[in-house]
Amino acid sequence: MDILYLMILCSVSLAAVFLVVFIVYARKGQFEDDESPAVRILFDSDEIKEKEELGNNKGDNEKGENNKIEEKSE
* Greatest Cα-to-Cα distance within the chain, rounded to the nearest angstrom: 75
pLDDT, tens digit, 9 for 90 and up, residues 11-61:
999 999 999 999 999 999 888 877 777 777 777 766 666 666 766 655 555
Contact 26, 19 (CB under 8 A): no
The larger pLDDT score, comparing residue 29 to residue 66, is at 29
Between CA 68 and CA 54 the distance in angstroms is 19
The larger pLDDT score, comparing residue 7 to residue 54, is at 7
Q: Which residues, other chains included, contact 25 with Cβ-Cβ below 8 Å and sequence gap of 6+?
A: 31
The residue type at 14: L
Q: Evaluate if residue 3 carries a pLDDT over 80.
A: yes
What are the C-alpha distances in Å from 26 to residues 23, 31, 39?
5, 6, 22
